[in-house]
Amino acid sequence: MPSKSLRHRIAIVFVGLLVLVMGLVLALVHRSSERIVARETQRELAVGANVFQRLLEQNQRQLETAAAVLAADFAFREAIATQDQSTVRSVLRNHGQRIHAQVMMVTGTDGRMIAATQSGFAAGDPFPFPDLLAAAEAQGRSAGFRQMRNGQLYQVVLVPIMAPARIAWVAMGFHVDDRWAHVMAGVTGLGVHIVRAGSRDALASSGPAPAADGADVAAVDVPLDGGLQAVLQLPVAQVQAPFGQLQGRLLGMIVAAVLVFALGSVMLAGRIVRPLNDLSAAARRIALGDYARPLPPAQGDEIGQLTASFEQMRTEIANREERIVRLAYVDALTDLPNRTRFLEAFGRLTPGMGGAVLVVNVDRFALINNALGHVVGDRLLRAVAGQLRPLVPAGGMLARLWGDQFAFLLEGADGDAARRFADTALAALRDPVTLDGQRLDIEAGVGIALYPDDGLDAATLLRRAELALAVAKRRHSGVACASDAGGEPAHEQLSLIGDMRRALAAGEFTLAYQPKLALGSGRIVAVEALLRWQHPERGSIAPARFIPFAEQTGFIREITPWVLETAVRQAAVWHAAGLDITVSANLSTLDLLDPHLGRRVRDLLERNKVPARRLCLEITESALMDDPALAHAHLDELAALGVKLSIDDYGVGQASLAYLKILPVDELKLDRSFITAITESPRNAAIVESTIMLSHALGLTVVAEGVETPAELDWLREHGCDIAQGYGIGRPMPAAQLQAWLTEFAAGTTA
């Protein structure tokens, strides 16, 4: 983790610097204390040696004084002069005890002993230190360190006894032993060892034997007479001790400081790094698309400023993202999710759970839109969204796909549940909507496709649901399932296409003609050719069953030429018979997009000598919308021939009147669903009425489809509709029956 290492780095740099500085200080202190120790050692040695020498001198003087006092003693001199041995010895002993001298001797000027306190000396023995005697004779007195015969060392002085001429010498000495060395050591503060020059065997020593001059002991040699020397030693450690202590304390303080510093810098680094960590965690969250969590409030320092900027960035990204998501995923009109969002939501369905896609379409929306204006249309869509929105179950979704097409996604729903839901949705939509004081009754259709039975991906399911919706609309059943719309298994469909080809060749297709009544004149002015399939086994198959399939498979391209040919031939027959009747034929999308359509129609008309205005071609809105530019071009071509053009099933699809205005269209066929019960539904009435008015304003003839009752017929006549078609006037019939029917009809209406 980089932040952790940053924290460590900060701490390491701080502590490292401190350790470096402290190390330098320590090294410096160590070096100077070493120097001081060396100097101090030398100084202490010098002072000690000086004191040592002074002590020796002092001892010597003490001995000399004592000896002089003794030599001046009259009784003592008398005793010597008289050779009174015992008196001499007792005086010597007393005197010696008083001054703590261990050696007390008297010797004659001839070098022979007179008396001694020491055992082992007899009168007449030679004086043990003739060199001292010689020196004293030369200088008047002498002193020095001498070893007795027993090996013990003494500091000895020799002073003359004068009466008044020199009559004898008195020698006095202090025992130079370990105790003596100890006392000397106590005064000088140094280790005192008396050795013979060149040897290390101590004759007297204040402590352990003198070490060879080494690192831990400093020493100075003080030469004594008689080939002796005093080695004065100072243990360096003793000088070093206070410095060592000082350094130890310093080291302790440094260690404590480093620890405190380390702790402090770790804490400081933590304080610096924590907000950075927070920031990088927030950055990671933002990278993952989570903009919701705000950052902790910023402090006033630089990191605080960074946090504040970051926070501002987060809110701005969140706002922008929200706007983008809205643009990309939300339908601006209804605030519902759009198609893209819907497809995405489908992708999140739990596999194995099942589900349903329901496509809901408002009946005749385009018509309402055209008749009452886009503003009303938009408000209607919002109202529909408002009615459907509360129905969305948890985990489900409602989206507006386009126009008046809404879709529900129901997770985990099976066929029954989806159907129940569809009924609920339709029931909810039946609540009337009031817009601008106008009450609008909405009706709708629902197409259902089930996952995974009807498809595995959203696009397929939506297509299947839309096909089902078309079926629902055709059947006026409100709800239909994908399985109802071309739900046959593929092999059956394949057999159907083979069947159609065979049927065409075998003449199983026929055309039935349904009359179109001009309401003004009461005359039948036209007939619509409708395809009929008399299947040898299945019986009569309605066009709704096979035409969508023929369109899907492209087989319609073989059917339409036959339809056109048959219809035009029939028109020629009626024309020749003097009947003034226009024949309508239906075209599919593929037909309209066929580049040879115009030429083929022209050839047909020419060949059969039928005037172009005797042929009308009915085109559905969806056919126009597939490729509007190409459709437009082909319509222009057909119009140029003089052929009439009609918009079929107007109001079911999305085409607007404004769009139709720019097309060379003559006729508008209002879909059956508007006409049904027109006399009972004021809303339908209002829509049809305004559509008629608008169409007339655009110069279009209005045809009402599916007119079944006289009341509807009357209503249409009253409201200026031009032409009516429907079972109420006449059912589709074979061509052969038409003439008889026309006669009968004319009789009926005139009667």
Binding site for Mg ion (CB under 5 A): 586, 618, 648-649, 705
User: Shortest distance, CB of residue 705 to Mg ion, whole angstroms?
Assistant: 5
> For residues 500 and 509, what is the distance between their CA atoms, to the nearest angstrom?
9
Interaction partner, residue 395 (ligand C2E, Mg ion, none; CB < 5-8 Å by kind): none
Interaction partner, residue 160 (ligand C2E, Mg ion, none; CB < 5-8 Å by kind): none
User: Shortest distance, CB of residue 504 to ligand C2E, whole angstroms?
Assistant: 12
Interaction partner, residue 726 (ligand C2E, Mg ion, none; CB < 5-8 Å by kind): ligand C2E
User: Shortest distance, CB of residue 707 to ligand C2E, whole angstroms?
Assistant: 6
User: Shortest distance, CB of residue 467 to ligand C2E, whole angstroms?
Assistant: 15
User: Shortest distance, CB of residue 648 to ligand C2E, whole angstroms?
Assistant: 5
Q: Which class for 76: exposed (0-12), middle (13-18), buried (19 or more C-beta within 10 A)?
A: buried
Minimum CB distance to Mg ion smaller for 387 or for 646: 646
Interaction partner, residue 673 (ligand C2E, Mg ion, none; CB < 5-8 Å by kind): none
Minimum CB distance to Mg ion smaller for 225 or for 551: 551
- Alpha helices, DSSP H only, in 507-596? 543-553, 556-576, 589-593
Interaction partner, residue 566 (Mg ion, ligand C2E, none; CB < 5-8 Å by kind): none
> For residues 171 and 96, what is the distance between their CA atoms, to the nearest angstrom?
11
User: Shortest distance, CB of residue 548 to ligand C2E, whole angstroms?
Assistant: 9
Interaction partner, residue 419 (ligand C2E, Mg ion, none; CB < 5-8 Å by kind): none
Residue 21 φ/ψ, nearest 5 degrees? -60, -45
Interaction partner, residue 157 (ligand C2E, Mg ion, none; CB < 5-8 Å by kind): none
Q: Which residue is nearest to ligand C2E (CB)?
A: 726
Minimum CB distance to Mg ion smaller for 338 or for 586: 586
User: Shortest distance, CB of residue 596 to Mg ion, whole angstroms?
Assistant: 22
Minimum CB distance to ligand C2E smaller for 44 or for 649: 649
User: Shortest distance, CB of residue 620 to Mg ion, whole angstroms?
Assistant: 8
Name the residues that contact ligand C2E, by CB under 6 A: 514, 530-531, 542-544, 547, 563, 586-588, 618, 648-649, 672, 705-708, 725-728, 732
User: Shortest distance, CB of residue 407 to Mg ion, whole angstroms?
Assistant: 26
Minimum CB distance to Mg ion smaller for 466 or for 649: 649
- CA neighbor of 732 nearest in space, from 511, 513, 509, 510: 513
- CA neighbor of 650 nearest in space, from 694, 613, 598: 694
Interaction partner, residue 530 (ligand C2E, Mg ion, none; CB < 5-8 Å by kind): ligand C2E
Q: Which residue is nearest to Mg ion (CB)?
A: 618
Q: Which class for 151: exposed (0-12), middle (13-18), buried (19 or more C-beta within 10 A)?
A: exposed
Token digits of residue 275: 């907000």
> How many helices (H) and strands (E) would you count in the chain?
24, 26
Residue 335 φ/ψ, nearest 5 degrees? 65, 15
Minimum CB distance to Mg ion smaller for 269 or for 615: 615
The greatest distance separating any two alpha carbons of the chain, rounded to the nearest whole angstrom, comes to 211
- As beta bridge partners, residue 397 has 409
- Alpha helices, DSSP H only, in 165-301? 178-188, 236-287
Long-range contacts of 60-64 (CB under 8 A, 24+ apart): 60/143, 60/155, 60/157, 62/99, 63/99, 63/101, 63/143, 63/155, 63/156, 63/157, 63/172, 63/173, 63/174, 64/141, 64/143, 64/157, 64/159
> For residues 632 and 637, what is the distance between their CA atoms, to the nearest angstrom?
9
Interaction partner, residue 706 (Mg ion, ligand C2E, none; CB < 5-8 Å by kind): ligand C2E
